[in-house]
Amino acid sequence: MCYHSQKGGNNLMATVFTSRQAIQITGVSQRQLAYWRKIGLIIPSQQTPGGHARYTFPDLIALKTAKRLIDAGVSLQKLRKSITALTRTLPHLRQPLSELSLLATGDVILVFHEGAVFETLTGQEWILPIAQFQREVTQQQKQQGLASGQGELFPEANPAQCHEQGI
C-alpha cells in the first residue's frame, strides 16, 4: 500500500513507501534495510506517529544506489566514508546517493557532478578536459606573444609539410 503525502496525489515524489515496499522495489534485504537505518547510512525521510519508517522516492534511489555499489564490490565502510566525504565536499546536498551520479570502478567510487568527475574520498579529478586545456594553452601563448608554430602544444598542420614528412 502506497501512501501519498498530498491528498489524491499521483506524483511519485509525493508518494511514501513502507519498509516492505522499499524492500520489494529496491531488492535490499530486510536485514540490510534495518542495519543501514541503524547505522545512519540511509535514514527514511518520514516516520509515522507510531515510529514506522516511510521512504520517499529519493530514499528509494539512495537504497538502490547503495545496493548496486555494494553488489559492485564497494565495502559498506568505504560507502559510509564516501558519503561523509561527499557531504563535506558538497554541503548543499541532503542525500548524496540520490542526488549524484556515481560509478564504482573496483573499490573506487567516482562522482559525476557539474561537468566534473572526481573520486569521493580524495576529491581527485579523474578526467582532464583536453579541449578546454588546449584553449587555455592557446590563450596563454597569445598572451605571451609566441609566434605561430613556436612552442605550440597543438600547432596547426601544414599540408605541404605533412606530405614532405610522409604523414
Q: What residues form DSSP beta bridges with 102?
A: 111
> Does residue 85 share a domain with residue 8?
yes
> Does residue 111 share a domain with residue 79?
yes
> Does residue 142 share a domain with residue 108?
no
> Does residue 155 share a domain with residue 106?
no
> What confidence tens digit (pLDDT) does each residue in 113-141 have?
888 888 999 888 877 667 677 788 888 88
Closest C-alpha among 73, 70, 87, 85 to residue 36: 70
> Does residue 9 share a domain with residue 89?
yes
> Does residue 143 share a domain with residue 83?
no
E strands of the chain, at which residues? Answer: 3-4, 15-17, 46-47, 53-56, 101-105, 108-113, 116-119
> Does residue 90 share a domain with residue 21?
yes
For 50, the domain range is 3-119
Q: Which three cell numbers stand for residue 129?
A: 578536459
- Phi, psi (5° rounding) for residue 17? -120, 145
Q: What percent of the chain has pLDDT over 90?
A: 39
> Does residue 135 share a domain with residue 53?
no
Domain tally for the chain? 2
Whether the Cβ atoms of residue 2 and residue 17 lie closer than 8 Å to each other: yes
> What confidence tens digit (pLDDT) does each residue in 61-78 have?
999 999 999 999 999 999
> Does residue 136 share a domain with residue 93?
no
Task: Look up the pTM and report it.
Answer: 0.67
